Structure 1
Amino acid sequence: MKKILFCATVDYHFKAFHLPYLKWFKEQGWEVHVAASGELTLPYVDKKYNISIERSPLSLKNIGAYNEFKKVINNNEYQIIHCHTPMGGIISRLAARTTRKKGTKVIYTAHGFHFCKGAPLLNWLIYYPIEKVMAKHTDCLITINEEDYTIAKRKFRAGQIKHVHGVGVDIDKFKPINELEKSERKISYGFKPGDFLLFYAAEFNKNKNQQLLIKALGHLKESLPNVKLILCGEGALKEECEKLAQSLGIQHMVHFLGYRKDIDQLLPMCDVAVASSLREGLPVNIMESMACGLPVVATKNRGHNELITHQKNGFLVEPNDINSFANHIIDLYNKRDLLLSMKLNSINKVKLFTVYRVSLELISIYESYMLEDMHETTSKHNRAYI
């Protein structure tokens, strides 16, 4: 039986983004293995390896992780190895060098290079040369946004370089609801029907920059007191953000909901999605918001720029432009015809990024290597009779 190995830094990555592809390979009769840190039970998986890998490129534990990956790879005859996440992608590709020479195809999906326009110089100094070298050990490098694709095509020497539209959004799960349902759901979550809800789900860290959203809301506390900001997620800077809201006197306008499993229920009742991050690959949270019919007010970065067309399905602002951010929220609050047109534009644009569309793109890549492997097997078989 043919085997595929999926590699990443943490196993939750597979649960969040790759279950449809694990399932697809099982349906094709393949044996599916995964290797990452963590002890999650995953469906569609025949073997799961818990690797002692760390996110930091400076962690000495990653030497052990390299040996663990190498043992797994050398003990199995994989036809395809698909690598994900920065450290998971680097270490597993290093470990796969020998087996790649024997015919194993190595695919790497870059879910957003750490180096990009506006990224810190340190990111360029550390990650750019590593990714450039690792591309030589990659049969197919997949990027999920145009900026990364352009950099990869110009600078890297992978066997193939492909662009797919992210990891896909499930539009059967994330979808709009009518105004009556919105009002009823707002009440069920403790809000008033007339509350104008802004939504953002992200880890509280420096990159996600939630302070911008809180400061922008501070500009609205007198003129639009019924605007509420819903922030989902945990993280090191959550307490700092709570203190900022208190210091601005808007703690009653900001709702910190913590980690949630009901985002698909929360999003459709909201009015506008907001996003403040400094760096993104192609953010799933924004695609989910668009699928629910929300206009988006967001900071400019490569991921947001690809999903949001300024003044069509939302607004893009500079990362520290608090005034513009607040003014665009005021526009959407006061101009309901603008809100409606942007809602429709979000729904239409997200059709490019559905799970179905992305699945077709990714399966096409998989099948090209599966067919290539069949061709090589047939050729070897024919040569045996020459």
Structure 2
Amino acid sequence: MKKVLFSATVDSHIFNFHIPDLIYLKENNFEVHVASNGTADSPSIDFKYNVPFQRSPYKIDNIKAFKQLKKIIVNNDFDIIHCHTPMGGVITRLAAISVGRKNTKIIYTAHGFHFFKGAPLINWLMYYPIERWLARYTDLLITINKEDYRRALSFKSKKVKYLPGVGLDTKKFAGIEIDRDKKQIELEIPFNTLKLISVGELNKNKNHEIIIKAIAKLGNPNISYLICGVGEKEEYLKKLSQSLGVSSQVKFLGYRSDINEILKIVDVFVFPSFREGLSLALMEAMGSSLPVICSDIRGNTDLIENEKGGYLVKPDDLNGFITSITKMIDNPELRESMGAYNIKYIEKFDRKNVLEEIEKDVYLL
């Protein structure tokens, strides 16, 4: 039986994005090992290792993670090591290099390089050199957006491949039918308002605050803003909405397992992030036939065509978000046409198409 090791910084990355990969590998006679920080498990995993990866490169636990991974690799004759996330990818590849297994295929999926057009200089100084160097020891470097792909082509990886993200189960979002009124009552969302929604961790990068500021500037009580997610910025965002006098219009829904249902009762998906690889949340909104207002950044531009599927706005352009929201308010025909464009466009990102690419190029030894 072939053996594969999947690694990522945290459990949530594996369980949010890669369970279909693990199922595919199990079905194709692989013994599946997973190394990530956490104790979550799945029937699709044969061996789970709790490895103390840390997102910050300065944490000493990353040294412990490196040593633990070396032992895991030494004790297992892996056919494939497939690593994800920046620190998970760096530490796993360093451990594999130090062990020197020549018959192991090393794959790294970059879910968004930290160095990109417009990124801070420190990101380029810290992450670019090591990713370029590690590419020499990477049999297959996978990127999920076109900007990263063009840059990776200049690296010395044995092979570089573009994949359209982790794939979307389009049927899960397009085919669902719900009672809209009942769902709005359940979530205590006002009727007869333009309902905006953002989905993602409440952190600085996701930039929810600019939408709260835009709503405050608009001064229109007939706008509701739903935020799905948890994170370190939650209290700050709640206080901001209170201080700007829009707390009654901004609803924090926390972590949700019914996103596919909630997307069916809203009008516009807003996504003002500073940095993305290729957002699954954005793909889910498109699969739900929603128009989109999002930041004009790498990854988002792979998915949204300006003025056809929505509007692209610089992430710090408050007036740009205000203008885009205003265009959506009293124009249901525009929202409907943009949503129809998105649901058609996202078909090529369907999980089935991504799996076909994986079968053809990624896991064939």
Shorter-chain TM-score: which interval?
A: over 0.9
Residue 313 of structure 1 is matched in structure 2 by 309
1:258-299 alpha-carbon deviations (Å, 9 max, x no partner): 222221221111100001111110111100111111110011
Give secondary structure in 2 for the equivalent of 1:141. strand
CA distance in 1, matches of 2:363, 2:241: 51
> Residue 70 of structure 1 corresponds to which residue in structure 2?
70
Q: Which residues in structure 2 correspond to 1:24-63 (within 5 Å)?
A: 24-63=24-63
Please, what TM-score do these two structures have when normalized by structure 2?
Answer: 0.96
- 8 Å contact kept, 1:70–1:96: yes
Does structure 1 retain, via aligned residues, the 8 Å contact 2:190–2:224?
no
CA distance in 2 between partners of 1:296 and 1:176 (Å): 19
The CA deviation at 1:101 is 4.4
1:35-75, Cα deviation, whole Å (9 max, x unpaired):
11110012211111111221111111111111110110111
1:216 alignment counterpart: 214
For 1:157, the aligned partner's letter is K
Describe the SS at the equivalent of 1:204. Answer: coil
Distance 2:317 2:97 in 1: 46
Stretches of structure 2 that go unaligned for 5 or more consecutive residues are: none
Tell me, in whole angstroms, the C-alpha distance in 2 between the residues paired with 1:108 and 1:232: 30
Using the alignment, how far apart are the partners of 1:204 and 1:4 within structure 2? 33
Deviations 1:11-40 (A, max 9, x none): 221111111111111111111111111100
AA of the residue aligned to 2:241: A
SS in 1 for 2:174: coil
Q: Contact 1:66–1:95 (CA<8 Å) still a contact in 2?
A: yes
Secondary structure of the residue aligned to 2:327 is helix
Instruction: Give the C-alpha shift of residue 98 in structure 1.
Output: 5.2
Structure 1 position 171 matched with structure 2 position 167: no
In the TM superposition, what are the counterparts of 1:189-228 in structure 2 within 5 Å?
A: 189-221=187-219, 224-228=220-224
Whether the aligned pair in 2 keeps the contact of 1:287 and 1:307 (CA below 8 Å) is yes
- Matches of residues 20-169 of structure 1 in structure 2 within 5 Å? 20-97=20-97, 101-154=101-154, 156-169=155-168
| Paired residue secondary structure (1:268) | coil
Higher mean C-alpha displacement, 307-316 vs 164-173: 164-173
1:323 matched to 2:323? The reply is: no
Cα offsets for 1:169-219 (capped at 9, x unmatched): 1112222667x8434432332223322210001222221111101011112
Q: Is this contact kept in 2: 1:183–1:192, CA < 8 A? A: no
> Alpha carbons of 1:100 and 1:312: their partners in 2 closer, same or farther (altered >3 Å)?
farther
Query: What is the identity, as a one-letter code, of the residue corresponding to 1:333?
Result: I
Structure 1 residue ranges without an equivalent (≥5): 371-386
Give the match for residue 286 of structure 1.
282
Moved more, 226-235 or 134-143: 226-235
SS of residue matched to 2:128: helix
2-side partners of 1:6 and 1:25: how far apart?
A: 11
Are 1:242 and 2:238 counterparts? Answer: yes
Which range moves more in the overlay, 71-80 or 100-109?
A: 100-109
1:125-182 CA distance string (max 9 Å, x none): 110011011101100000000000000002x11010000000111112222667x843
Distance 1:239 1:52 in 2: 28
Alignment length, in residue pairs?
A: 365
Q: Is 1:267 aligned with 2:266? A: no
Distance 1:177 1:25, change over 3 A: closer
Choose 191-200 or 76-85, whichever is displaced more.
Answer: 191-200
User: What is the CA–CA distance in structure 2 between the aligned matches of 1:212 and 1:139, rounded to whole Å?
Assistant: 41
| Structure 1 CA distance for aligned equivalents of residues 176 and 332 of structure 2 | 17
**Partner amino acid for 2:222?**
N
Q: Distance in 2 between matches of 1:28 and 1:275?
A: 37
Q: Which amino acid counterpart does residue 291 of structure 2 have in structure 1?
A: P
Name the stretch that deviates more: 348-357 or 103-112.
348-357
Task: Name the aligned partner's letter for residue 329 of structure 2.
Answer: Y
Question: What's the C-alpha RMSD, in Å, of the aligned pairs?
Answer: 1.5
Residues 3, 33 of structure 1: 8 Å contact kept:
yes
Cα deviation per residue 1:95-121 (whole Å; 9 max; x = unaligned)? 112555421100000000001011111
Secondary structure of the 2:171 match is coil
Q: Is the 8 A contact 1:2 1:79 kept in 2?
A: yes
CA distance in 1 between counterparts of 2:291 and 2:60 reads 44
Aligned with residue 351 of structure 1, among 347, 351, 363? 347
CA contact (8 A) 1:174 1:292 kept: yes
Match of 1:304 among 297, 300, 304: 300
Worse-superposed segment, 248-257 or 351-360: 351-360
Q: Distance in 2 between matches of 1:106 and 1:173?
A: 32
Q: State the alpha-carbon separation in 2 of the partners of residues 166 and 239 from structure 1.
A: 32
Any idea what SS the aligned residue of 1:62 has? helix
Q: Deviations over 1:346-376 (max 9, x none)?
A: 10111121211111122222343x2xxxxxx
The answer on whether the counterparts of 1:176 and 1:291 sit within 8 Å (CA) in structure 2 is no
Q: Contact (CA 8 Å) 1:202, 1:233: kept in 2 or not?
A: yes
The alignment partner of 1:172 has SS state of helix
Question: SS where residue 174 of structure 1 aligns?
Answer: helix
Normalized against structure 1, the TM-score is what?
0.91
Residue 96 of structure 1: SS of its match in structure 2? helix
Q: Is the 8 A contact 1:100 1:106 kept in 2?
A: no
